[in-house]
Amino acid sequence: MAQRLNHARACADHGDRARAIEVLHTGLLLTGPTDDTLALDVATANAAALLAEFTVANDDLATALPWAGWAYRSLRRLRGATSPEARAALKCLATAQRRSGNLAAAAHCYSELTHHHSAAEGPRSLPTLATQATLALVLYQDGHCKRARQLLDRTAADHRAAHPGHRDGPRLRHELARMRASCVDQGHDHPAGTDDPSTDLPKPLTDRSSPT
C-alpha cells in the first residue's frame, strides 16, 4: 500500500489525477469506508485520505465524504487526533461536508479541527485562527449570523494581536463588515453589542490538551 500511495502521488504530481484516483481505488478495493473496521496501518489510512482529497478536488463529493470520514477516524486512532495527518483528513472531511451543503456537519468538523489545531499549535496560531474564521463563515451560511459575527469578531481581534500586518487581517475584517451589512440589508433585529463575545459561544481558546 505504501508503494501504491507513492505511485498515486507521483501520478498526481505529473497532472494525471484520474490515474492517481484509479491507483488508490484499486488498492482500497477490499476496504469499505462505511464499515466500523478502521485501517490497520497508516499507509492505508493515508491512501484513503489522499483519495478523499483528490475526489474533493474533482467535486466528486459522494465519493469523497465516506473516504474522508474513514481516513480521519483511522488516523485519529493510529496517529492521534492532533497529528498532521489526522488534521488534514478532518479538514478534507469538513470541506466535503460544506460543499455538499451539510452545513451543520461541516460546522461540527471545523469546530473539532479548531480544537485540534489549538492543542497542537496554540490557540492563536495561523491554522487555528484560519479554521475558526472558516467556522464563522459556515455558521453564517447556516443562518447563525449572531454567533458567526461574534466568533469572527473575536477571531479577527486575536489575529490582529498575534499576527499584526499579516495579509489575512484585512480579509477577516472585510468578511465581518460584509456580515454586518448583510444583517442590516435583511432587517435582522440584533441587539446592540452583537459582535461582542457572549455566553452562548465557546469560551476563548486557551492552551490545553486536545479534547477534535
**Domains (ranges, CATH) in the chain?**
1-85 (1.25.40), 101-212 (no CATH)
**183 band by pLDDT with thresholds 50, 70 and 90:** confident
CA 98 to chain centre: 9
pLDDT greater at residue 36 or residue 160:
160
The predicted structure's pLDDT at residue 210:
33
**189 band by pLDDT with thresholds 50, 70 and 90:** confident
The predicted structure's pLDDT at residue 199:
35
Q: What type of residue sits at position 107?
A: A
Q: Is the pLDDT of residue 12 over 60?
A: yes
- Here the cell at position 95 is 470541506
pLDDT greater at residue 183 or residue 103:
103
For residue 79, give Cα distances in angstroms to 34, 84, 101, 192, 212.
20, 9, 29, 45, 13
Contact 175, 145 (CB under 8 A): no
**193 band by pLDDT with thresholds 50, 70 and 90:** low
The predicted structure's pLDDT at residue 55:
97
**194 band by pLDDT with thresholds 50, 70 and 90:** low
- Average pLDDT over every residue of 162-166: 93
3-state secondary structure of 206: coil
The predicted structure's pLDDT at residue 135:
98
Q: Is the pLDDT of residue 201 over 60?
A: no
Nearest to 141 by CA among 130, 157, 152: 152
| Residue-wise pLDDT tens digits, 126-147 | 999 999 999 999 999 999 999 9
**208 band by pLDDT with thresholds 50, 70 and 90:** very low
| Residue-wise pLDDT tens digits, 32-58 | 898 789 999 999 999 999 999 999 999
**112 band by pLDDT with thresholds 50, 70 and 90:** very high
The predicted structure's pLDDT at residue 68:
98
**205 band by pLDDT with thresholds 50, 70 and 90:** very low
Whole-number Å distance between alpha carbons of 9 and 6:
5
